[in-house]
Structure 1
């Protein structure tokens, strides 16, 4: 199964940010906490749901809420997709 890239994660996060939200996801965001990037738990839950649909996986709710940076979320998603082969 395909691994999620940072660019794909950026696209998902932008799509879930909301209409009027000015979110800057350029640059090195891998280790920047989602809170500092302007994401609340609702936006992250929506992002997780999109990722689940796109990759055909199930993200454990507790692990998803503990993934507090883009790197942590990518590691979680890619760990699950790698084991689903």
Structure 2
């Protein structure tokens, strides 16, 4: 899906749930924007799967550092949005 809309926290929540589910005792519907992924129960494999799904759905490429440097949802959202604005429109 090619889009000009920004990637949002709701988009990330949906993809996280599809990719890796939700850790017991963690409420993704809360204010998680600046919570570390590890505290949310998402380890590197879950984030790799999340990144792959984002790439396919939004037709962008995320380099490894985009996933390893983004330790919070805000960081990953910012990385995705920077790729979306840099991607050529068709």
Q: TM-score, normalised by structure 1?
A: 0.90
Higher RCO structure (Cα 8 Å, ≥6 apart): 1
Task: State the match for 1:30 in structure 2.
Answer: 33
Task: State the match for 2:12 in structure 1.
Answer: 9
Task: State the match for 2:54 in structure 1.
Answer: 51
Residue 67 (str. 1) matches residue 70 (str. 2): yes
Please, what is the CA RMSD of the aligned residues?
1.5
Q: When the two structures are aligned, how many residues end up with a matched partner?
A: 84
Q: TM-score, normalised by structure 2?
A: 0.85
Runs ≥4 in structure 1, deviation > 6 angstroms? Answer: none
Residue by residue over 1:17-56, the C-alpha shift from the partner in whole angstroms, topping out at 9 and shown as x without a partner, is: 24x8434202110000000000010000000000000000
Query: Which protein has the bigger helix share?
Result: 1
8 Å CA contact retained: 2:60, 2:83: yes
Q: Runs of 5+ in structure 2 lacking a partner? A: none
Residue 41 (str. 1) matches residue 52 (str. 2): no
Q: Runs of 5+ in structure 1 lacking a partner? A: none
Q: Output the CA distance in 2 between the equivalents of 1:84 and 1:72.
A: 18
